[in-house]
Amino acid sequence: MVARLSAARRAGASGSGGPYHRRLAHVTAGAERFGGSFGGQRGVAYRLEEETEADWWEVEALYDLCFAPGRTALSSYRLREGVPTVAPLCLTLRDDDGTLAAVIRYWPALIGEEDVLLLGPVAVHPTRQGEGLGGLLINESLAEARRLGWERVLLVGDAPYYSRFGFRKLEGVEMPPPTNPERVLGLELKAGAWKGVTGRVSKAT
Q: What is the mean pLDDT of residues 69-73?
A: 72
Looking at the domain 7-203, which fold is it?
Aminopeptidase (3.40.630)
Q: Is the pLDDT of residue 57 over 50?
A: yes
Between these two residues, 33 and 130, which has the higher pLDDT value? 130
Q: What is the mean pLDDT of residues 89-114?
A: 96
Q: Are 21 and 29 in contact (CB under 8 A)?
A: no
pLDDT value of residue 160: 96
Closest alpha carbon to 88 in 10, 166, 181? 10
pLDDT-derived band at 43 (thresholds 50, 70, 90) equals: low
pLDDT-derived band at 36 (thresholds 50, 70, 90) equals: low
Q: What is the mean pLDDT of residues 7-20?
A: 39
Q: What is the mean pLDDT of residues 9-30?
A: 36
Between these two residues, 70 and 124, which has the higher pLDDT value? 124
Between these two residues, 9 and 188, which has the higher pLDDT value? 188
Average per-residue pLDDT in the chain? 83
Q: What is the mean pLDDT of residues 14-34?
A: 35
Q: Is the pLDDT of residue 3 over 60?
A: no
pLDDT value of residue 78: 84
pLDDT value of residue 190: 98
Domain range annotation of the chain: 7-203
Cα(103)–Cα(93) distance, rounded to whole angstroms? 6
Q: Is the pLDDT of residue 21 over 70?
A: no
Predicted confidence (pLDDT) per residue in 173-198, tens digit: 999 888 999 999 999 999 999 999 99
pLDDT value of residue 68: 75
The reported pTM is 0.80
pLDDT-derived band at 39 (thresholds 50, 70, 90) equals: low
Q: What is the mean pLDDT of residues 21-42?
A: 41
